[in-house]
Amino acid sequence: MRWSRRIVGFACAALMVPGVVWAQHAGHAGAGHDAAAGQSAQPVQVAAASASPQDVTYQADVVISLRTSISDGKLVFVGTSGAITDKVNPDLHVPENAVVQINLVNDDGAIHDIAVPEFNVKSDNITGKGAATAIVFRATKSGVFEYLCTLPGHKAAGMFGKLIVGEPPAQEKIDALDIAQDPTRVGTPVGDREPQHVTFDLETTEVLGFLTPGSTYRYWTFNNTVPGPFMRVRVGDTVTINMKNADDSHHIHSIDLHAVTGPGGGAAVTQAGPGQTKSFTFKAMQPGLYVYHCATPMVAQHITNGMYGMILVEPEGGLPPVDREFYIMQGELYTAQKHGAPGHQEFSLQKLLDEKPEHLMFNGTMNALTHDHKLKAKVGETVRIFFGVGGPNLTSSFHVIGEIFDRVYNQGSLTSPPLTDVQTTLVPPGGATMVEFKLDVPGNYILVDHALSRAEKGLAGILEVSGEENHEIFYSKEPVDPNSGH
């Protein structure tokens, strides 16, 4: 292991904190305990303040060890000791007023550092696999602070976590909903049944939902999920939509289904005030995969807040069977607060008008398809994804890293011959596509919009594929990190 040559110098700089009187003791560097190991704390040992950096030694009260890595397509820190072993961007708990040493080993070969800005401490850069560095500082106040890599773009790529000092006041429990749509909720295939009368009951709601585990947003939804429910019918069906606006809503809501031939796609007859129910019936005349959304002015605001979904009109005889089907929609949030800010996020009309979203997501939240509802499948299976863009503004370049779409039903058309052997497909706001591909090799496959800076604002998903390796298709002497997405 190759250690940074300036570790001791950083120890000196970190320990000479203004307003703190340091006693001179005899001792040895690195004699502290690992925070996760639970050993008893040791006294601080430093040389006299006039000593040169080469003479400085110290004994930390708490020692924490991390490594750099790639996980689920993000740059991350990973714990390497005690209770935080193998945890990604772990919470680091230390006592107030403890001297803390954080060791960092480079395990991915890129250039990195580690810093805790609140305590004015930052390490040297480390480059090359096996290189290492450390920071040492006294945690002089309780609270929740950030540790991160300060290299440009690395925090946005995922390299940050929480340093929790002492016992911060318990946070009040937030009464918020998990509004993320489960991508496996795709309804029942129609098969070869005859046309029939189908009814869908929808409720429009305005609810406080989790955007991330540490932030919330006031979503507007169909049936408390984003996107709304996946509706599945066949061509020739007669479809009735009953739409109630919740009693506690503050706004008028409606529904416009792109599968409807009629005024406003239904919006002209479903403008419902709080507590009202509106209904209409239409005939599903043309097969395809269609978007629906609220169409009450200001329409873009209703859509960005979460009021979109899809309806599938299957052709006569239904779609060919596949092993897995998933329902995914891309959306945007325009908030006054910057992406990654904790707490409640407020809607920004100006950012909406400027088309500058702070958050982009699949299925409503930052963690919907990377943590809460990872897609799962097996080698040898064929996957079908119903993909749509709620928007309201950005076109998606939908791509699955490490896969090629065998078939793409462009623009959601089910009667046109599908495109074959496609790498990335364009889907406009208010548009949809259906893609199918067979899984040949196990691993994690990352779903993205190939306008890739959007991944740093939350737009990513994970398809976990399990099964036997196939070295005729993919082989490397390097072991594959199951969390890397590579």
What are the tokens at 144?
Answer: 């929740």
What are the tokens at 472?
Answer: 């005729």
Which of 165, 184, 211 represents a domain boundary (last residue)? 165
pLDDT of residue 12: 38
pLDDT of residue 37: 38
Q: Distances from the Cα of 409 to the Cαs of 104, 350, 397, in angstroms?
A: 47, 36, 14
Which of 165, 189, 206 represents a domain boundary (last residue)? 165
- 334 and 431 belong to one structural domain: yes
- 190 and 156 belong to one structural domain: no
What is the CATH number for 55?
A: 2.60.40.420
pLDDT of residue 396: 98
Which of 141, 165, 189 represents a domain boundary (last residue)? 165
- 161 and 182 belong to one structural domain: no
- 153 and 229 belong to one structural domain: no
pLDDT of residue 153: 85
Cα distance between residue 37 and residue 62, in whole Å = 10
Domain count for the chain: 2
Backbone phi, then psi, for 130, in 5-degree steps? Answer: 100, -15
- Structural domain span for residue 17: 2-165
- 220 and 349 belong to one structural domain: yes
pLDDT of residue 193: 96
- 124 and 188 belong to one structural domain: no
pLDDT of residue 209: 97
- The pTM of the full predicted model, rounded to 2 decimals, is 0.80
pLDDT along the chain (486 residues), means of 10: 39 36 30 42 35 57 95 89 93 95 94 96 94 95 93 88 86 84 97 97 97 94 98 98 98 98 97 98 98 98 98 97 98 94 94 97 95 95 98 98 97 97 98 98 96 92 95 83 48
Cα distance between residue 244 and residue 257, in whole Å = 16
- 132 and 190 belong to one structural domain: no
Backbone phi, then psi, for 44, in 5-degree steps? Answer: -70, 140
Q: List the beta bridge partners of residue 256.
A: 293
- 190 and 148 belong to one structural domain: no
pLDDT of residue 40: 34
